[in-house]
Structure 1
């Protein structure tokens, strides 16, 4: 199934392609003839999943997007105090190439403007037989997850025409901010700006920052968390130069632009965004890069104020219904058919806050479903907050499931998500418990692949699966000793604390078993239907009822009274023993089902 996120990015790419403002950077001749129509968008999650559209594999020079990565390497080499002594962390309010040096000390305002970037480059050490620039290039490559290279043509053009940067370097040397010959620093700075990248590379570099400095694909810890924290902080306040305030207000993510046409933005713990489009605005940022970032921040609720509560991983577990069967007793043939077809129904458990990252994880799981999956259950019982973007992604996912011939159901105890989908033209079945949703899946699979095996709505005690081991004659004998009882929806059949009154056989309808939770609230344990039993937990003992049993709709049961069971034990011990064995076998089957469900929880 196609991803709604890919469809969304394709739509945004098509719309913003019509934006023709700005011009490519022309101060460096080697960069002047770039195609202004090149346009690519890449969204990479903090665990390395990539969505891309457009010219995402087209190489261009990294330019000023190199600055935060060199700054991070300098921090790792020298430590915070030494770097802070040479370059400040304050917004300059100036454009990228302004001479923003502190009066008296000559210290640059921050590492994102050219003066601060030259200083950061000078602070990187050669090490282990690698020159300063070799270490810078290797660091960029580790962030990108592939070996990057330098354009000699762009480097020579930078070296020849970058007069202002030459002047800045010598001015910094005059204040001893750069402590040695500035020429090698200038050369290494121009080389780092001439490193060739793609939008995909930049997205992975941004995702590595989002992932606390660990490349999500190679798993290499490229930069420790302390330098990452500082880098992202300075990107947030200074990365977009004299447009930083407007950017933080409208986009709300640490970012960096480059005159090569690239733009990156980072939402820590969630995503890295990269856009490539050469035409620039008056601030030296890509016109389309800014537009895309603003649009995605608004539509996907990526602003740090909205996306701050990342919580736990939203996709808690994904499994087929064979792992956690409903608990409804089926015939052996029906149970075998369900085991063989359980993979056709998948349950996705979600929890925490469903913001963009959580909704993306859900959509990704749905998009990767095997072709033979026909039924999908989204379990929302542990979800706290559902954002607007998550609701929109639910709607798109529901439509795509429908278009691919799949059916969607939800375990939604509050019902808000299901109600929102229904209001917006995507009606979806909603259940109060997972067991009920799985029961629906089982019934659907039986209807599709074994209609003759569907359990009847009414099962007389003699035909109950629980009594099948006794044989028909003994089962009918026991049924003749039972009394028929009927209950309306909500009636309490057995209350916790009551003494054992007999074993109940459900003939039609459903009952709900409940018990007190840690906070005093009643917790729903399971839902029992036709052919199932309850009340036997205190069988043959003087124990009291451990759960409350309520009618879930109209229900008809047959009760084998406690007095009759006691009489059988005294007068017909063989029948009593056979009855005990049958119920024990039935209970064991249910315990085995509960253990399967528990195993899923433990694995999480």
Structure 2
């Protein structure tokens, strides 16, 4: 099933494609003019998943988007304090190519303007047999997760049109900010700007910054968190040059634009965003790139203020209902059917906050489920907050599932979805506990796979599954030792602490098994129905009843009392032995099932 996020990006691409303002960067190799119609959007999550639409694999020059990455590399080489001596961290409010240096020291205002970028690149030296440009390209490649290369044709044409940058390099040299050949610093800067990237590459580079300096796909660390912190801080205040104030207020993500048509934005701890569209505005930023980021920030609640708690979420998927069964003790036939068709139901557990990151993970988990999964259980018991984005995406998910004859089931007891369509839709059952939701799914499977497999209304003792190892004559003979009993709804049949009261065979109706949790609250352990037994486990607990058994509706029983058991053992010890073997086998199967369930709960 296509993700609602993927669908949203496709619609966003179509909407913003209608924006025709702006002019592509005029400096380019002969015959390689940018296509104004090119437009791509990529969104990379911190676990390495990339959403992409449009021209996401079209190569273009990274240009000024290289600046924050070289800034990070210079700090990794020399330390933050050494770089601060050369370049300040204050927003300049000037265009990217402004001659903006501090009086007296010549120190550039920040590393995002050209003067600051020239100072930064002059600090990156060759090492380990690699030249400075090679080291820079290797570093970009580590952030992108694939080998990148520069374009000699782009470098050559930029070199021929860099008089202003050349003058900046010499001016920086005159102040001692550049302590090497200023022309070499300019060449290295233009080589880094000529790196050829795709929108997908930029998204992964942004994702690396969002993931505290570690590439989400390769797991390779490019920068330490202290360096990432400084890079993103300067990007937030200065990455969009003289448009930075408007950007922070309307988009609210650290970002960097480039005249090659790329725009990169970072939502720390959650995602990296990249847009490619060549037409530029007066600030040298992509017109469609800016509009796309603004729309995404608003629609997906990616502004840093709204997304502040969004990284505190976890989504666990893949557990089936046989691993976490309901409290209904099923017959062997029912259990076999549920086991066989277990793959049609999946439980997804969500914890923390459903802001952008948590919502994206949840949406992806549901969208990636196999088509055979028709019942999708979202366990939101441990969710603290649900953003409007999450509500919107959950609503979209439910509609998509329903359109494909699939159903969403919710577990949520905090009222987080009150006053939403989901809470009012009878087709979206909402349960307070996992047991109720799983019981619902089991019943849905059983009904869908054959009415004859539904709960039997009445099972006489000779047909009890617990006595299946005995032959017909032996089962009939046992009935002669039993006495009938009837109970009304709510009757306590057996109370915790009572002495062994015999083996109870349920002929009709249902019985709830109730115990106390560690806090002393009464909880339902399971529900027994016709054909099942209870009471025999008291023999393994100092002859004491460990649980309370309560009638649900009218209940008809056949009871093999302690006195009748003594008579049976005296009159027919062979039959008594066969009975205990059959009951032991039935109890073992039940205990084994509970142990498997407990093991799953411990790791889930």
CA distance in 1, matches of 2:163, 2:549: 84
The change in CA–CA distance for 1:316 and 1:370 in structure 2 (over 3 A counts) is closer
- Call closer, same or farther: CA 1:554–1:252 in 2, change over 3 Å: farther
Shift of 1:206: 0.7
Match of 2:387 in 1: 387
Matches within 5 A, 1:248-397: 248-310=248-310, 313-326=313-326, 328-397=328-397
Look up the match of 1:210.
210
Gaps of 5+ in 2: none
Q: Bigger shift: 450-459 or 91-100? A: 450-459
Please list the CA deviations of residues 359-418 of structure 1 after superposition, one character each: whole Å capped at 9, or x if unmatched: 222222222222322322222222222222112111111111122222332233446448
Is this contact kept in 2: 1:565–1:576, CA < 8 A?
no
Q: 1:541 to 1:374 in 2, by over 3 A?
A: closer
Contact 1:42 1:53 in 2 (8 A): yes
Task: Give distance in 2, aligned partners of 1:31 and 1:512.
Answer: 80
Shift of 1:104: 1.8
Task: State the 1:533 CA deviation.
Answer: 4.2
Q: 1:542 to 1:296 in 2, by over 3 A?
A: same
Distance change >3 Å, CA 560–CA 222, structure 1 → 2 = same
Cα distance in 2 between the residues matched to 1:70 and 1:82: 14
After superposing the two structures, state which structure 1 stretch, 361-370 or 334-343, moved more.
334-343
Q: Secondary structure of 2:256's match?
A: strand
- Alpha-carbon offset, residue 565 of structure 1: 6.7
C-alpha distance in structure 2 between counterparts of 1:165 and 1:538, whole Å: 88
Aligned equivalents of 1:58, 1:17: Cα separation in 2: 16
1:180/1:593 CA distance change after superposition, 3 Å: same
Cα distance change of structure 1 residues 454 and 424 upon mapping to structure 2, 3 Å threshold = closer
Q: Which residue of 2 aligns with 1:515?
A: 516
1:485 to 481, 484, 487: 487
Is the alpha carbon distance of 1:420 and 1:472 closer, same or farther for their aligned partners in structure 2, counting shifts above 3 Å?
Answer: farther
Which secondary structure does the structure 1 equivalent of 2:483 belong to? Answer: coil
* Per-residue Cα deviation, 1:203-243 (whole angstroms, up to 9, x for no partner): 01111111222222222222222212221222122212222
Provide the rounded CA distance (Å) in 2 between the counterparts of 1:539 and 1:426.
45
Identify the residue that residue 177 of structure 2 maps to in structure 1: 177
Counterpart residue number, 1:558 = 557
Report if aligned partners of 1:28, 1:161 keep a CA contact under 8 Å in 2: no
Residues 474/421 of structure 1: CA separation in 2 closer, same or farther (3 Å cut): farther
Question: Are 1:195 and 2:213 counterparts?
Answer: no
Cα displacement (A) at 1:197: 1.0
What is the alpha-carbon distance in structure 2 between the residues aligned to residue 434 and residue 472 of structure 1? 40
Structure 1 residues 291 and 461, CA gap change in structure 2 (3 angstroms): farther
CA-atom RMSD, angstroms?
Answer: 3.0
Deviation per CA, 1:70-129: give whole Å up to 9, x if none. 011111111111111111222222222222322222211211111111111111121111
TM-score w.r.t. the length of structure 2 is: 0.90
Deviation at 1:277, TM superposition (A): 1.3
Matched residue SS, 1:487: coil
Query: Structure 1 residues 316, 230: closer, same or farther in 2, change over 3 A?
Result: same
Alpha-carbon distance in structure 2 between the residues aligned to 1:184 and 1:358: 46
The whole-number CA distance in structure 2 between the counterparts of 1:533 and 1:417 is: 40
Secondary structure of the corresponding residue to residue 314 of structure 1 = strand
Alignment of 1:140-179 (within 5 A): 140-179=140-179
Name the count of aligned residue pairs.
600
**DSSP 3-state at the match of 1:357:** helix
Cα shift at 1:455: 2.9
Alignment check: 8 A CA contact 2:484 2:559 kept: yes
Partners of 2:465 and 2:174 in 1: how far apart? 92
How far apart are the structure 2 equivalents of 1:555 and 1:103? 93
* Structure 1 position 161, deviation (Å): 1.2
- CA gap of 1:434–1:15, structure 2 versus 1, over 3 A, is same
| SS of equivalent to 2:488 | strand
> Contact 1:413–1:431 at 8 Å: present in 2 too?
yes
Q: Quick check: 1:314–1:354 contact (8 Å CA) kept in 2?
A: no
C-alpha change, 1:395 and 1:131, in structure 2 (3 Å) is same
- Asked if 1 retains the 8 angstrom alpha-carbon contact of 2:500 and 2:562, the reply is no
**Structure 1 residue 133, shift from structure 2 partner:** 0.6
Q: Are the counterparts in 2 of residues 88 and 111 from structure 1 also a CA contact under 8 Å?
A: yes
Is the 8 Å Cα contact of residues 315 and 361 (structure 1) preserved in structure 2? Answer: yes
Q: Take 1:128 and 1:199, find their aligned partners in 2: how far apart are those partners?
A: 31
Question: C-alpha offsets along residues 536-564 of structure 1, whole Å, 9 cap, x if unaligned?
Answer: 5433655655455566x636363748655
Residue 498 of structure 1 deviates from its aligned partner by 5.9
Question: Which residue of 1 is the match for residue 119 of structure 2?
Answer: 119
Contact 1:328 1:532 in 2 (8 A): no
Question: Which stretch shows the higher mean deviation, 469-478 or 86-95?
Answer: 469-478
Report the CA distance shift for 1:427/1:445 in structure 2 as closer, same or farther (over 3 A): closer
Structure 1 CA distance, aligned partners of 2:103 and 2:524? 70
How many Å separate the matches in 2 of 1:268 and 1:511?
50
Q: In the alignment, which residue of structure 2 is the partner of 1:133?
A: 133
In the alignment, which residue of structure 2 is the partner of 1:186?
Answer: 186
TM-score norm. by structure 1 comes to: 0.90
Asked if 2 retains the 8 angstrom alpha-carbon contact of 1:213 and 1:228, the reply is yes
Q: Structure 1 303/326 Cα, relative in aligned 2: closer, same or farther at 3 Å?
A: same
SS at match of 1:226: helix
CA contact (8 A) 1:505 1:558 kept: yes
Residues 270 and 311, structure 2, Cα contact 8 Å, conserved in 1: no
Tell whether the 8 Å contact from 1:202 to 1:264 is kept in structure 2 after alignment.
yes
Asked if the contact 1:412–1:418 (Cα under 8 Å) also holds between the matched residues in 2, the reply is: no
Structure 1: stretches of 5+ with no match in the other structure: none
Kept in 2, the 8 Å contact 1:540–1:566? The answer is no
Per the alignment, residue 239 of structure 1 pairs with 239
Distance in 2, Cα, partners of 1:110 & 1:568: 95
* Alpha-carbon distance, 1:502 to partner: 5.4
Kept in 2: contact 1:25–1:32 (CA 8 A): no
1:430-485 CA deviation, whole Å, 9 max, x = no partner? 33333333333333333333443333244455544334445556656458324221
